[in-house]
Structure 1
Amino acid sequence: MGATTSMASAQLSVTPGESIEANVLVRNNGTLVDQFSLDIVGDAREWVEVVPRVMNLMPGQDGTATVTFSPPRDSSVLAGPVPFGVRVLSREEPAGSSVEEGVVEVAAFTDLQVELSPKSSKCRSKAVHEVVVDNAGNHPVGVELVTIDPEEQLRLTLDHTSLMVQPGTSAFLKLRAKPYDRFLRGKERRHPFQVTATSADLPPTTVNGTVVQEQLLPKWLLPAAIAAVALAGVLAVLWFTMVKPTVQTAAREEAREQAQEMQGEMMDMANQAEEKAAEAEESAAEAEKKAAEAADTVAEVGGGGAGAARGATTSPEGVNIASGSTVDFRITTDVAAAPDPEAFEPFGVPEGVIPADKTLVVTDIIMQNPRGDNGTLRILRGEDVLLEAGLANFRDLDYHFLEPWTFAPDAPLTVEVSCQTPGAPEPADGDCGPAVSFSGRLSGPTEGG
């Protein structure tokens, strides 16, 4: 009993950026008035729409839904066959639900772009450019690259001349341009060149570039050399006529004064050496005393244990969340299907798991929805919602927290579930039954908290 479905054509073809429609016939084979929900399963569900999504049928009555396929014209949908399924869910007889399968052939399209960066460069002996080949189509494209130097003044070298560019990706190639001739001085020389990309599916694409060749000698070098020679001549004349005689006389007088000063300094240094030797003995004794005191202090500090070195991590409520006894438990649910998506049924922590004077510190959670129920699951601290997830979005989902969740006695942990449609195979009671496992610690207030 339940529903039967059929599609006029299970083999379809569509061009990206365009749409194609197909009709699905739904028949109520049951003995009760039933409501059927329609949706799409498979990789095509992101760009397939079914109208209507819900239909009510009398026993033996047929209904028709329109399925529209509209793949986007970009590289996110690859060319080729894409299987899909139109799923029809019965509210009265979920076990009688059905899936009509088919295949839609997505046509290939090509969108190849070629860029050159930079378009113009300056050099004395060698320039480097980058060729970017971007495949914005939905299938791999083989590309051949050819460099053209119309004036035959450059030696052009590419990393690769043949490549295969996958859809939605870009290939980056180094292009080295080296002029055949170089010159020491003269005006700049402009050398144009081209890079052409050819593909079997597209006409050739050409980008233009220019290498501006400069003289080997920097323009500032010759004026700087002339200025340096002139300055050296001026300094030589000043040295021999004025500076050298004055320096010689001053040097002799300075030498006599320094000799006298050195004799006095040597006597002072001898006296200071004796005084410093005595001070060094006193400093050594004092250093030994301080080292002994420091060793005693280190021993006292080290006696605090590793916990004192690490310190305690405390929550704003004064709870030590870095220590305590480990705990793990599981909250299971059993919720009847309800048409109101805001109808949530709460489930608390099993009795006896958390003592009344302890705070629960949660570090890991695992949410399980093995039957694929459809609805919403929420995790609350008191009346505050910490996490909300659609049941249809997961079968097994785990979270590991760098900063744990804390649940004080006055703000307990609660799991709420809103059941829309039980999963398959449906249990005998027709209810949703997701579960959440929690791991963490039981902690009390910190010392002095």
Structure 2
Amino acid sequence: MGATTSLASRQLSVTPGQAVEATVLVRNNGTLVDQFTMDIVGDSREWAEVTPRVMNLMPGQDGEVTVRFTPPRNSSVPAGQVPFGVRVLSREDPPNSSVAEGAVDVEPFMDLQLELSPKSSRCRTRAVHEVVVENSGNYPIPVEVVTNDPEEQLKLSLDHSTLTVQPGTSAFLKLRAKPYDRFLRGPDKRLPFGVTALAPDQPPVNMDGTVVQQQMLPKWLLPAAATVLAAAVVLAVLWFTLVKPTVQTAAREAGKSAAEEAQAELQEQANLAERRAVAAEEKANSAAKKVDEMAAGGGAGAGAAGAGGRGATTDDQGVDISNGSAVDFRITTDADAQPDPAEFESFTVPDGVIPADKTLVLTDIILQNPRGDSGTLAIKRGDDVLYATGLQNFRDMDFHFLEPWTFSPDQPLTVEVSCQLPGAPAPATGKCTPAVSFSGRLSGPTPS
């Protein structure tokens, strides 16, 4: 037959942190001695205790079981009714176990806490604090957060001031504190303020904080400026006493060395010019001696031919190149641009400048490339190249010959140009236009 149970009071009320007890009557309705085990079912089993948990009853015998409920004083058990059941299990007749049901009314309680982080801050223009509103009670609490400035030196603002905090949770608010006045230099100022949390039917919860206002100029600025100034003074002293004399000495030594090098180079050039002059003089003396020898061997007729008592100077073809009429002319070129540097265009002496029976004796040449063309220019005697140069190597360049160049009628003077890139501004035709000016004499055959 199992057991029957009855609960003395099905409605219980308890304040969190305290205890309430209920009595359960258990009767053995069977015909055998039976052992009964009691436990709690429902959400209250974590904070409920059954005494005793096991009892033995004779047939028809009654027994009492005490159930003690002690809900903790925190947010883990919300306020309101919590159903429970006292289950009685029969060892001899398990299918006929029974349950006595009831409910515990957990009363509400409030535990509102307020924190400020940090409690004290340092700033020059604005400080930021965090306000934490924590509800450790067992029901939602509507809260209003207000600030106060007892000395009226701060502008205080919250991102929001009204909120509802659920049990077992915390709300976070940003509090910005801005001093009304600023100062460049001076001691720190302590500016107190307060934060209050207001809830219905509950006393206010207060928290005090402080803003330490600092001077606008950093404290390290003046020492750093003094250090920099001292370093500047030290550097200036070092400059004028050590570095500058050393630099000046080095500069003087460098200038002296450069002057000595320049003087040596000028001396070397002077020596080279002197050697060239000596060589030219020796060459002239040799030529004069040769003329004298030719005059001595040629007899009176030859002596008469030389107005000064010397014979005429001739080339290897017997042409007198020591005198003649002066001649000046210019060969201008107009060469097409082409990529092959081996291809040349030839330009000759203008017609009528050199008679067919005259020999050209050149003593001076002026090369002109005013537009900066690129390519190659060559001066030829017949098929022989006497001089070749790159156009990019000169704009104006002149030559004076100690030993003149001679051009016989069968070995005419020509100028050849290989144009690779016309200079700027290039003509519309895209051609290179260097020119060569020539000066010399026109000589005829030596009289027999």
TM-score under structure 2 normalisation? 0.54
1:238 and 1:62, CA in 2 relative to 1: closer, same or farther beyond 3 A? closer
Map 1:37-186 onto structure 2 (within 5 A): 37-186=37-186
CA distance in 2, matches of 1:95, 1:220: 86
Alignment of 1:41-440 (within 5 A): 41-240=41-240, 242-250=242-250
The CA distance in 1 between the partners of 2:26 and 2:241, in whole Å, is 115
Which amino acid is 2:28 matched to?
N
Amino acid at match of 1:122: R
**Aligned CA distance change for structure 1 residues 183 and 30 (closer, same or farther; 3 Å):** same
- CA–CA separation in structure 2 for the residues paired with 1:35 and 1:229: 98
Q: Letter of the 2:152 partner, please give it.
A: E
Letter in structure 2 aligned against 1:44: S
- The CA deviation string for residues 182-238 of structure 1, in whole angstroms up to 9 with x for no partner, is 111122222111101100131111111111111100223224324433442453354
Give 3-state SS (helix, strand or coil) of 1:203's partner. coil
**How far is 1:130 from its partner?**
2.1
| CA 1:19–1:253: 2 relative to 1, 3 Å | same
User: 1:192, 1:210 within 8 Å by CA — same for their partners in 2?
Assistant: yes
Residue-by-residue CA offset, 1:216-264 (whole Å, 9 max, x unaligned)? 002232243244334424533542454224224436768989xx9xxxx
SS of the residue 1:202 aligns to? coil
CA distance in 1, matches of 2:123, 2:89: 70
- Give the whole-Å Cα distance in 2 for the aligned partners of 1:230 and 1:37: 92
Partners of 1:4 and 1:176 in 2: CA distance: 67
User: Which residue type is aligned with residue 121 of structure 2?
Assistant: S
Distance 1:52 1:242 in 2: 102
CA distance in 1, matches of 2:32, 2:88: 16
Deviation by residue 1:301-330 (Cα, 9 ceiling, x = unmatched): xxxxxxxxxxxxxxxxxxxxxxxxxxxxxx
Secondary structure in structure 2 of the residue aligned to 1:35:
strand
Q: Which has the larger radius of gyration?
A: 2
* 3-state secondary structure, aligned to 2:181: coil
The amino acid of 1:38's aligned partner reads M
Amino acid at match of 2:68: T
Contact 1:110 1:201 survives alignment (8 Å): no
Alignment partner of 1:239: what SS? helix
Corresponding letter in the other structure for 2:127: A
Report the CA distance shift for 1:223/1:63 in structure 2 as closer, same or farther (over 3 A): closer
Question: Which runs of 5 or more structure 2 residues have no equivalent in the other structure?
Answer: 262-448
SS at match of 1:134: strand
Tell me by how many angstroms 1:63 deviates: 1.6
1:248 and 1:16, CA in 2 relative to 1: closer, same or farther beyond 3 A?
same
Residues 419-447 of structure 1 show CA distances to partners (whole Å, capped at 9, x for unaligned) of: xxxxxxxxxxxxxxxxxxxxxxxxxxxxx
Q: In structure 2, what is the Cα distance between the partners aligned to 1:182 and 1:83?
A: 63
1:18 corresponds to: 18
1:31 lines up with 2:34 in the alignment: no
State the alpha-carbon separation in 2 of the partners of residues 254 and 37 from structure 1.
113
Give the direction of change, closer, same or farther, for the CA distance of 1:228–1:95 in structure 2 (3 Å limit).
same
Are the equivalent residues in 2 in contact too, given 1:142–1:165 (CA < 8 A)?
yes
Please report how far the alpha carbon of residue 40 of structure 1 lies from its aligned counterpart in structure 2 after TM superposition: 0.5
Work out the CA distance in 1 between the residues paired with 2:67 and 2:227: 84
Distance 1:127 1:82 in 2: 47
Q: Compared with structure 1, are the counterparts of its residues 241 and 87 closer, same or farther at alpha carbon in structure 2 (3 Å cutoff)? A: same
Aligned residues: 258
Whole-angstrom CA distance in 1 between matches of 2:242 and 2:20 = 100
In 1, Cα distance between the equivalents of 2:252 and 2:82? 100
Aligned to 1:73, what secondary structure does the other structure show? coil
Q: Note the C-alpha offset of 1:165.
A: 1.8
Distance 1:69 1:223, change over 3 A: closer
Shift of 1:172: 2.7
Q: Given the superposition, is the C-alpha separation of residues 23 and 234 from structure 1 closer, same or farther in structure 2, using an over 3 Å criterion?
A: closer
Instruction: Give the distance between the partners of 2:144 and 2:187, measured in 1 at CA.
Output: 36
Equivalent position amino acid for 1:32 in 2:
L
- Supply the distance in 2 between the matched residues of 1:254 and 1:47 (Cα, whole angstroms): 99
Per the TM alignment, residue 53 of structure 1 is displaced from its structure 2 partner at its CA by: 1.1
Distance in 2, matches of 1:44 and 1:207, equals: 37
